[in-house]
Structure 1
Amino acid sequence: MDLLTANDRAGEYPRSYYAEHATPLPPFAPAQGALSCEVCVIGGGFTGLSAALHLAERGYDVILVEAQRLGFGASGRNGGQVGMGQRLDQDTLEGMVGQTAARALWDMALESVALTRELAQTHAPEAGFKPGIIHAAHKAKYVADAHAYAEKLARDYNYDQIRPLDQAQLQELLNSPAYYGGDIDMGAGHLDPLRYALGLARAVQAAGVRIYEGSRVTSLTTSDPAIVKTENAVITARFVALGCNGYLGNLAPAVAARVMPINNYIAATRPLTESERANVMPSDHAVADTKFVVNYFRFSPDNRLLFGGTESYGYRFPADIAGKVRRPMAQIFPQLADINLTHAWGGTLGISFNRMPHFARLAGNILSASGYSGHGVAMGTLGGKLLAEAISGQAERFDLMAQVPTPAFPGGASLRWPLLVAAMLWFSLRDRL
């Protein structure tokens, strides 16, 4: 199934709250004819835009090709949470790669948030970066784990931005019967993801990058120079940087075996009155809970609750996205069970088997970064910078990310979907027990 068109119209942003309130760039023409460059970046999301920007700032001649519109995919549709840390916690990473490498991964995660905040403030102030993510425990037994982890980060990583919360303290920030406590991380934050992506796109354009939209890549030939073919163009490039994530398709089979697409959904309520908002979440922080199928939410600048996280088991979006999202929202906020939902949309992201991003050098001059597993606002931004570093000859940090194990899905690309469905059904059941 062609995920670029299965759920969306060619050349159009989805009918999301973000798209309705953003100011898109005028469309860029598709790539035509014979073109050449030093670096061809494939994919116009956070990773591709960041890579193109950092490469252009280093003086490279860059072409960026995007099959749809810049920020069209997960980068312009997600919950906007700029999470701290890697997708796996530091305890797990220490066991996986050792103390030294785990510390380096933590330092890169810190940088990813700082970089995202800096780029947003410089190029997309309208994205409205705000600090604070609440991690809400949906089971009482998870509260002690959250508090112990905050203590570990303070003790072992000198990170003092997380404050533990008991149930009463959480209730002051989040009026829901569904949670038992947790923590709040003021080093993390949230923003409007599409406005951020479009701000990066304007910076990329101003830096002199040649941008082509509506330019689906049909083949990638490993050679020196590499050959990138679209429907109407042939691009020769010394280097190629792939930032395709859930929309990779069959372009790079070695990546597809380790990164697979899944869909996620968000709905927006009508604007709440100040009293209604105070009865839901008086704080202006984002929230993510401890379920395997994570519920995540935050308020928009005009007081709409943007609530997301439900899953589906098929590549097509469900007919009634709003109804699907309303069910978990009503469980967490019974006071909003009947509220009007003005927007509801889906998006396709890329996940890896163990949820760590997959960085890979597919050939000496072809590199890929993807599989952020719902943690891609900050790490996708940093991923683009690491691609630029590696292409310019400073590959140590890219190579460290590439050395983190990201196993192939059992059965490879052909069998990964039914196996994932079985796993997701099991974890969804576990969440409910």
Structure 2
Amino acid sequence: MPWPASYYAATANKAPPVTPLEGGIRADVCIIGAGYTGLSAALHLAERGFSVVVLEAERIGWGASGRNGGQLGIGQRKDQRSLEERLGKEWARRLWDLGVESNALVKELIARHAIACDLKPGLIHAAWKKSDADWHRSEVEHMASEYGYTKMRYLTREEIRETIASDCYHGGIYDEEGAHLHPLNYALGLARAARAKGVVIHEESRVTGISRTDPATVKTAKGSVRAAHVVLACNAYLGALEPRVAGAIMPINNFIIATEPLGDEARALIRNDACVQDTKFVIDYYRLSADGRLLFGGGESYSPNLPKDLAAFVRKPMLRVFPQLKDKRIDYAWSGSVAITLKRMPHFGRLEPNIVFAHGYSGQGINIATLGGKLIAEAIAGQAGRFDIMARLDTPKFPGGTWLRYPGLVAGMIFYAMKDRLP
């Protein structure tokens, strides 16, 4: 089965033939899910000498890992001042250090394994409201004084207009350590690197059950894996596989479009070729592709059903930012599910001594999920200190659990979306 139609699927690097699992096999570790978390864990475990099998229900990078906006951030999903207020400065500092490492890890893996994924530098946080611009100015000062991080630069309203051909923004931050990339090709590159280290990957091998034994048995329709350790790396596609943690995450749909190639007009839209994300609760995020298209994510949907016309749905917020594109063709439109948590921080932990999980990246998945895989490998190898920093984060379940969580989310999203529209 091919990947869902998208610009990324249409420009994906060549991948090996699909080999579903058949029969019973053994491994030190069985990983469920071939997204960033699972592939990073597989690669880092193999480098430590573990035998690893990865089971993927569909294709490598099928979920958010192959369909996201391609924006590589730094730090955690929540800003440092929020983490300081919630957790204290010492714990916030530990999370910042891990967040910085996560950004560097992605770049290091791309360089070390020669992953062709169109990596480009620069990320702009664009202030939708004047109060957001004031907050951005103080954030740059705070990060420099308290963390020694000087890679952020405040952009005035005039400077951001010189950089982005839009009148929407009141200011912003340019972060030179941020970056953007082709997310599916990054996932395929991780898989290629993992296979080179001996990892076995079975696609189209949906897991139907996991025994609570030691060693555990992981079953699919046509086979099984007996393993000393099991890693749940399913994120928004966990479904009913593990009810004990499913209620802590909420799968939501994101929508992205890709214009026709814009030629010389492309660079005029974002003059420094950085990726951009704004400060609305229901954010717009966009960047230029390697072949000069605008990739734009945005729009609001409070129904589990997808809009009938995705291209028209996302075109509306795109034209609010770039009305000059009104006559440009939309060549691709797609959706994908990401997993959010109530507090917008990832959910790490253990279910049994031999079953670990990490999910709920809430839109910060490229860097934090890649790091999550590395921390899982450390924990399985007996060095759990850094994994436990993430696992200690309080991640409450959504009210109503897996069955009734959705109505509460809808009410909350409508409230915050309305705030986006206020001056």
With the length of structure 2 as denominator, give the TM-score of the two structures: 0.98
Which SS does the other structure have where 2:356 is aligned?
strand
2: CA distance between counterparts of 1:420 and 1:337? 33
2: CA distance between counterparts of 1:401 and 1:89? 16
Q: CA deviation at 1:319?
A: 2.0
- What corresponds to 2:27 in structure 1? 37
Q: Does the 8 Å contact 1:124/1:195 carry over to 2?
A: no
**Is 308-317 or 232-241 further displaced after alignment?**
308-317
2: CA distance between counterparts of 1:207 and 1:176? 47
2: CA distance between counterparts of 1:228 and 1:409? 28
- What corresponds to 2:334 in structure 1? 345
2: CA distance between counterparts of 1:351 and 1:194? 20
CA deviation vs aligned residue, 1:268-295 (integer Å, no higher than 9, x gap): 0111121x22442222100000001111
- What corresponds to 1:295 in structure 2? 284
- What corresponds to 1:183 in structure 2? 173
Amino acid at match of 1:256: A
> Which of residues 375, 379, 387 in structure 2 aligns to 1:386?
375
- What corresponds to 2:404 in structure 1? 415
**Is 121-130 or 349-358 further displaced after alignment?**
121-130
Q: CA deviation at 1:222?
A: 1.4
- What corresponds to 1:155 in structure 2? 145
> Which of residues 359, 375, 389 in structure 1 aligns to 2:348?
359
Is residue 84 from structure 1 mapped to residue 53 from structure 2 by the alignment?
Answer: no
Instruction: Show the 5 A alignment for 1:262-301.
Output: 262-274=252-264, 276-301=265-290
1: CA distance between counterparts of 2:114 and 2:298? 25
Is residue 103 from structure 1 mapped to residue 93 from structure 2 by the alignment?
Answer: yes
Amino acid at match of 2:362: S
Structure 1 261/24 Cα, relative in aligned 2: closer, same or farther at 3 Å?
A: farther
Unaligned runs of 5+ in 1: 1-10
- What corresponds to 2:322 in structure 1? 333
Structure 1 33/278 Cα, relative in aligned 2: closer, same or farther at 3 Å?
A: closer
**Is 213-222 or 20-29 further displaced after alignment?**
20-29
- What corresponds to 1:126 in structure 2? 116
Amino acid at match of 1:257: G
CA deviation vs aligned residue, 1:40-96 (integer Å, no higher than 9, x gap): 010000000000000000000100000000011100111111111100111111122
Q: Does the 8 Å contact 2:217/2:226 carry over to 1?
A: yes
Is residue 15 from structure 1 mapped to residue 5 from structure 2 by the alignment?
Answer: yes
> Which of residues 201, 215, 218 in structure 2 aligns to 1:228?
218
Which SS does the other structure have where 1:346 is aligned?
strand
1: CA distance between counterparts of 2:313 and 2:69? 16
Q: Does the 8 Å contact 1:121/1:129 carry over to 2?
A: no
- What corresponds to 2:294 in structure 1? 305
Amino acid at match of 1:173: T
Q: CA deviation at 1:414?
A: 0.9
Amino acid at match of 1:34: G
Instruction: Show the 5 A alignment for 1:133-282.
Output: 133-274=123-264, 276-282=265-271
1: CA distance between counterparts of 2:106 and 2:291? 23
Amino acid at match of 2:344: R
Which SS does the other structure have where 2:40 is aligned?
helix
> Which of residues 382, 392, 405 in structure 1 aligns to 2:394?
405
Q: Does the 8 Å contact 2:310/2:333 carry over to 1?
A: yes
Amino acid at match of 1:83: G
Amino acid at match of 1:201: A
With the length of structure 1 as denominator, give the TM-score of the two structures: 0.96
Q: CA deviation at 1:223?
A: 1.2
> Which of residues 307, 314, 322 in structure 1 aligns to 2:311?
322
Amino acid at match of 1:382: L
Q: Does the 8 Å contact 1:329/1:337 carry over to 2?
A: no
Amino acid at match of 2:232: L
Which SS does the other structure have where 1:23 is aligned?
coil
CA deviation vs aligned residue, 1:224-260 (integer Å, no higher than 9, x gap): 0112111111211100011100000011112211012
Amino acid at match of 2:408: L
1: CA distance between counterparts of 2:143 and 2:338? 29
2: CA distance between counterparts of 1:354 and 1:241? 23
Q: CA deviation at 1:33?
A: 1.5
Q: Does the 8 Å contact 1:284/1:299 carry over to 2?
A: yes
2: CA distance between counterparts of 1:78 and 1:24? 19
1: CA distance between counterparts of 2:396 and 2:85? 16
Structure 1 223/340 Cα, relative in aligned 2: closer, same or farther at 3 Å?
A: same
Amino acid at match of 1:131: P
Q: CA deviation at 1:374?
A: 0.7
Amino acid at match of 1:425: I
Which SS does the other structure have where 1:31 is aligned?
coil
- What corresponds to 1:68 in structure 2? 58
1: CA distance between counterparts of 2:168 and 2:196? 47
> Which of residues 389, 409, 414 in structure 2 aligns to 1:425?
414
Q: How many residues align?
A: 422
Q: Does the 8 Å contact 2:267/2:273 carry over to 1?
A: no
Identity %: 52
Q: Does the 8 Å contact 2:36/2:366 carry over to 1?
A: yes
Which SS does the other structure have where 2:116 is aligned?
helix
2: CA distance between counterparts of 1:259 and 1:12? 27
1: CA distance between counterparts of 2:234 and 2:95? 22
2: CA distance between counterparts of 1:388 and 1:211? 17
Unaligned runs of 5+ in 2: none
> Which of residues 343, 348, 363 in structure 2 aligns to 1:374?
363
2: CA distance between counterparts of 1:239 and 1:76? 26
Q: Does the 8 Å contact 1:289/1:295 carry over to 2?
A: yes
Q: Does the 8 Å contact 1:27/1:69 carry over to 2?
A: no
Q: Does the 8 Å contact 1:257/1:408 carry over to 2?
A: yes
